[in-house]
Amino acid sequence: MIRQRFRRWRHTRPFPAGLCSVAAGVELIAVVGTAPGSLSLSGAGAPASWLLATLMIVAGLTMWLDPPRRYYAGAMTLICGLLSLLLSNLGGYLIGFLLAGLGGSLALAWIRVPTDGP
């Protein structure tokens, strides 16, 4: 029952897109350092990473919780991913960028099917 509901939940929203976007944000933060205290005294690099990562996570959650806004969320994820190449350790050593690019693209590519049911 739970699995069926989860399945339905996944199929009614761009689930992989949100997952990739959230994972991209988590990866960027993991590369910069997981201790939030490191934010307080840092210079240019770390706050940019935290900002981009937070935007990616918010965008990913938006894809899940508000599917009609997936285009905004997807575009935001793509732009954050591209900026992270410059501002955040080459996009978290490319892994974060690749996840963000995949997540944003999947969100832009998700479309409704007209009939009920998969």
Partner 1 sequence: MRETSGRATASGDGPGGPVPDPSGGPYGRTNRRRLALALAATTAAAAVVLGCVAEGAVAASFTSGTPFTVTVESLEAKGFGMQLGLSTGTGRPAVLTRWPVAEVSGLCQSVTVGLPLVGPTTMVLTARTVHATDLVIDAYHASGTLNLRRLVIGPTRGTTGYHSEDALLKNITLRAGSATAGTFALTGVGLDVRPGSAPCRLPNGGAGKGMRESG
Q: Which member of 1, 2, 3, 68 binds partner 1 (CB under 8 A)?
A: 68
CA atoms within 13 A of residue 98's CA, in its CB half-sphere:
3
Angle at alpha carbon of residue 113, lines to 107 and 116, rounded to 5°: 130
Q: Which member of 1, 2, 3, 114 binds partner 1 (CB under 8 A)?
A: 114
Structure tokens, 34 = 């997981």
Does 74 participate in binding partner 1 (rule CB under 8 A)? Answer: yes
Structure tokens, 13 = 């929203």
31 close to 89: Cβ distance less than 8 angstroms: yes
Cα–Cα distance measured from residue 116 to residue 7, given in angstroms and rounded to the nearest whole number: 14
Query: Nearest distance from residue 56's CB to partner 1, in Å?
Result: 14
Q: Which member of 13, 54, 58, 61 binds partner 1 (CB under 8 A)?
A: 13
Name the site residues for partner 1 (rule: CB under 8 A).
Answer: 5, 8-9, 11-14, 16, 26-27, 30-35, 38, 40-46, 48-49, 66-69, 71-72, 74, 78, 81-82, 85-90, 93-95, 97, 101-102, 104-106, 108-118
